Structure 1
Amino acid sequence: MRGTTLRRGGLSLRVDTRGMVVGLLLAVAALGMGVVLVGTGDFPIPAADVVRTLLGEGDPTQDFIVNELRLPRLLVGLLVGAALGLSGAIFQSISKNPLGSPDVIGFSQGSAAGGLTVIVLTQGSPLAVAAGAVVGGLLTGLAVYALAWKHGVHGYRLVLIGIGASALLGSVNGYLLTKADDLDAARAVAWMTGSLNGRDWEQVWPLLWSCVVLIPVVLWHSPALRMLEMGDDSAYSLGVPVERTRTVMMLASVLLLTAATAAAGPISFVALVAPQLARRLTRSPGPNLLPAAWMGAALLISADWASQRAFGSDQLPVGVVTGLLGGVYLVWLLATERKAGRI
């Protein structure tokens, strides 16, 4: 399907029909998997009963299980997946590189380092750990941006400096783990794996408000971000404030990533994979922000379901599943890029 042009009076609007349809289907898939996920557990609930309970027509037992125990986990999963998908789409668009993902260029490691510092050095509460993850991600973003700056921030320089920052921060995280006592080390490892287990409304509300504030900012700058993919000179000629747009979008992307990490720990590879799968489905140029967000949500919810059902009685943290699948995808991506002569 090709784009459609809508005209009214002297105004015209170009609509990407295929992108809209793909985004809608991904949204339906994410919400459908969410219903399946809510019905999964030691007390299984049929999908029809889940929907009926969400609409306020379930019995008291189902109402407690669905709305109090499982719905917060679902909402955190949807919001974290959407935030990671958006963050990855922004960074890949800015860097013009499929490896330009927060997982690869150090921002996820920075958030992990912030949370890990709070756990190991202060034995802080979950709220303090979340704040540490936000601060760590922001400081990492500022450092990488400053080091990558040379008459502007360009794609490969950003990726290379980010990879170096990721390696350095990975070593810092390893050192912090060696300094922790057994209890703090176990807590830190569990947090760094990334998990939706035990998530409640305390994690939902901060993440929800972060998305409510940041997603409109990202979508407002989406046309300018698309023009940036044509190159700085072309964007300048079209009236785009290049550095301001790049700075705002990078800041929004880092904040989305840190909010997601604060809520669920550092979940790997969703930010790398979701934007690329969305772009392959839409077959559209540009960052494809909304399809990437829904793809991230669908991937994370599906991975969480698999972590509960695919390994028998041994439930894995969702970060283990995304890391396994994402690692396979990364190897395939590197092989494809090398074959095409781009690396």
Structure 2
Amino acid sequence: MIAPRADTTEVSATSDQLPAEKARVGISGTPDSGGVNRNRLPLLLPALTLALLLLAALSLCIGAGEVGALGVLDYVLGHNGARTDARLALVVGDLRLPRTLTALLVGAALGVAGCLLQAVTRNPLAETGLLGVNAGASFGVVTGIALLGLDSGHAYLVCAFAGAVLASGLVLLIAGRRGGGSPMRLVLAGAALGSTFGGATSVIVVNSAEAYDRFRNWVLGSLAGVEGFGELGRLSPVLLTGFLVALLVARPLSALALGDDMARGLGHRPPVIRTVVAVGVTLLTASAVALAGPISFLGLLAGFVARSLAGNRLPARLLCAGLIGAGVLTAADVAARVVARPFEAPVSVIVALIGAPVLIALVRSRKFAATGLADPATEEPKPVKAARTRTFWGGETLLRRGPVSLLVVRRALFAVLVLAGLLLVAVVLSAQAGQSDMGVVRTFRAIFGEGDRFDVLAVQKFRLSRIVAGLAAGAALGLAGCLTQTLARNRLATPELLGVNDGATAAVLIAVSFSAAGTFGAWWAGPLGALVAVVVVTTVAGGLGQRGYRVLVVGLAMSALASAVTQVVLARRSLGSASSLYVWTQGSLNGRGYEVALPVLLGLLALVPLALAVARHLDVLRFDDTTASSLGAAPARVRAVCMLLAVALAGLAVGICGPVGFVALAAPVIASRLSGPLRVPLLGSMLVGAALVTVADTVGRIAFEGSEIPVGVVTTVLGGPFLLWVLLGRSAATRV
């Protein structure tokens, strides 16, 4: 997950705002902001504790073995010789009690870790996968399965913990260079390393059916394999150390909320605080992932709900987050044993089904509005620096013929021509790459139907049809990303933030499940699912005009629900079918041809002119709404039209090749660097997106002899280093 703009979340430390900020972090004696009174905390914490004890008791009483509440009570209290009963000792002592304690500790660890991350990054949407811990753990488990042949729960635990520590260690190393571990650098480094580790995991999984069969069960998260206290006992010291770090860092982290300068004035060292927090989060999350698998969304949910209940006083938020995380995971584990008897449902799916409605209800409440997170962002437009020298390529040319005139920006035109030439080269090389030894000249002739008929058949029938599908999908993703980033005024924004990719993916998989042929012919389900996801998100959030966190929170909740649906579909299918579906969910052009690309090309023919027509208004939207209205634009209308265009384009792309990552993020950034910052690079983004997908597909086909890497996996692996290069460079602050 990518964080929102740092300038909308960071806390100012100016003198006129200091009293208010002291109230926010609970330093002064006034009630906390967000409508939370400190007098409520003595009642809130006992209530949460009581609810947690009831859930723990329920967990002990439900499960296999036909042991009821009275038998459990006798065993716990040692009455009537219950502890000498072999059956009770097995069911309660070896199965239910260790499982319940593991759920409590893992849930508390994820809740506290999520709360710490939200505090240190000053981002209420941060979650425990932010430091790449989940991706690193997944990579460790897959590596152990595929390369080392490991197949035991203890081996998975060791590999998951080692991978999680490796990933978070690299994040800390990268974020600490030249930036002192600032919140934005932690976010970007975590996203980049998470992307790279996730892509590497997919490379191994798509080439090993055995690894995928074991991985697809582990990655869903489950407590079913907990037997005895062995694994929990080994990781208890690590968990306790993580909780101790959270306790010790609470006060310095509260001071850090006042700003780095004020924290230094109070005797703290912000880089050291952030590093210690990251270490504590790593210990807690790595242990939790090793014990129960990568349970996403729980850290976000617990930290967010704790903020709404306990306000901004960090010690109280940490306690509430730990209790809420433990309670939610325990409730989800109980539900997982009941809803699909005699089998067990994945606990991460249950967490998403429980947490998403809670988040949606929370952001629709008045309490959420009182926290200030739903307020419109008051952002001043950044001044555009004047060019130092006016060169030929930096100027403009006015073309006029009668009443019609056209202003041509020479640098942007030159960039488009260069990108078009590079795209042509990429197409020729992609058509040439393959098993047959065909030179570039023969390939170029075969594209136009000349030369040997076998060359023409191989190029036009098989390779070129796939290339056309990739071009259409890449152009759609590039344009969708450009529209989204311009609307959000944020180079990190993509349609994924509104649940578009996950909604489209779930819709296509559902259509495949109900299809008699079981194929991917129902390309139309992609844009339909994306449209449904956005309609739900915008309706629940109160419209596209919401500029605060409300739309993002609802989008994350929708993504969690759609991802849960996708996981259920994959888990219920046979291994062969699930393997092919998994490859598609990573983004693949395998078997895609003209029959799928043609509808998308027709859609582009209709949508691209409309996007170009509103391009002028997009330039104006870079200013605030008042300035845009005074220049003749209608911000609300333009924003709605552009968002619908982005959704339709992203949905069409998913219908072709699945959710290909990185392209919608990178294409506008590259196009903007080439064409200059004065214009919205719509055409350039389309060309860059098409080129990226074409090149990635070519690399995936030729990288490993005898096997193919999905295009989405290639873009994900390359996306991490690109994100670090673009956003962690010397001038990153001017480009975010």
TM-score, normalised relative to structure 2: 0.44
Question: Aligned to 1:174, which of 555, 563, 567?
Answer: 567
Partner of 2:291: none
Identity among equivalent pairs (%): 35
Partner of 2:640: 247
Check 1:311–1:184 CA distance in 2 against 1; reply closer, same or farther (3 A cut). closer
SS at match of 1:88: helix
SS at match of 1:38: helix
Alignment pair present for 1:51 and 2:419: no
1:286-339, Cα deviation, whole Å (9 max, x unpaired): 431100110101111111111122334432111110111123434566656997
Q: Give 1 or 2 for the bigger CA radius of gyration.
A: 2
Check 1:148–1:28 CA distance in 2 against 1; reply closer, same or farther (3 A cut). farther
SS at match of 2:545: coil
User: 1:102 is matched by which residue type in structure 2?
Assistant: P
Q: Are the equivalent residues in 2 in contact too, given 1:89–1:271 (CA < 8 A)? A: yes
Check 1:157–1:295 CA distance in 2 against 1; reply closer, same or farther (3 A cut). farther
Cα distance between partner residues in 1 of 2:544 and 2:682: 27
Greater RCO structure (CA 8 Å; 6+ sep): 1
RMSD: 2.7
Q: Are the equivalent residues in 1 in contact too, given 2:661–2:715 (CA < 8 A)? A: yes
Partner of 2:237: none
- Deviation of residue 128 (structure 1)? 5.3
**Bigger shift: 293-302 or 148-157?**
148-157
User: 2:474 is matched by which residue type in structure 1?
Assistant: G
Partner of 2:427: 34
SS at match of 2:438: coil
Check 1:219–1:44 CA distance in 2 against 1; reply closer, same or farther (3 A cut). farther
SS at match of 1:15: strand
Partner of 2:398: 6
Partner of 2:457: 64
- Deviation of residue 169 (structure 1)? 2.6
Question: Aligned to 1:320, which of 682, 698, 713?
Answer: 713
1:104-133, Cα deviation, whole Å (9 max, x unpaired): 442111111111222345566445542322
User: 2:396 is matched by which residue type in structure 1?
Assistant: T
Cα distance between partner residues in 1 of 2:509 and 2:715: 20
- Deviation of residue 340 (structure 1)? 3.6
Q: Are the equivalent residues in 1 in contact too, given 2:479–2:685 (CA < 8 A)? A: yes
User: 2:427 is matched by which residue type in structure 1?
Assistant: G
Partner of 2:503: 110
**Bigger shift: 48-57 or 23-32?**
48-57
- Deviation of residue 233 (structure 1)? 1.4
**Bigger shift: 120-129 or 188-197?**
120-129
Cα distance between partner residues in 2 of 1:160 and 1:123: 37
Question: Aligned to 2:591, which of 194, 198, 207?
Answer: 198
- Deviation of residue 35 (structure 1)? 0.5
- Deviation of residue 245 (structure 1)? 1.5
Check 1:336–1:142 CA distance in 2 against 1; reply closer, same or farther (3 A cut). farther
Question: Aligned to 1:18, which of 393, 411, 428?
Answer: 411
- Deviation of residue 3 (structure 1)? 2.8
- Deviation of residue 268 (structure 1)? 1.2
User: 1:17 is matched by which residue type in structure 2?
Assistant: R
- Deviation of residue 80 (structure 1)? 0.8
SS at match of 1:115: helix
Matches within 5 A, 1:85-234: 85-120=478-513, 122=515, 125-126=518-519, 129-149=522-542, 152-154=545-547, 157-234=550-627
Q: What is the count of residue pairs matched by the alignment?
A: 343
Partner of 1:307: 700
TM-score, normalised relative to structure 1: 0.90
- Deviation of residue 62 (structure 1)? 1.2
User: 1:196 is matched by which residue type in structure 2?
Assistant: L
User: 1:274 is matched by which residue type in structure 2?
Assistant: A
1:155-184, Cα deviation, whole Å (9 max, x unpaired): 765445434433343233223322333343
User: 2:714 is matched by which residue type in structure 1?
Assistant: V
Cα distance between partner residues in 2 of 1:257 and 1:155: 23
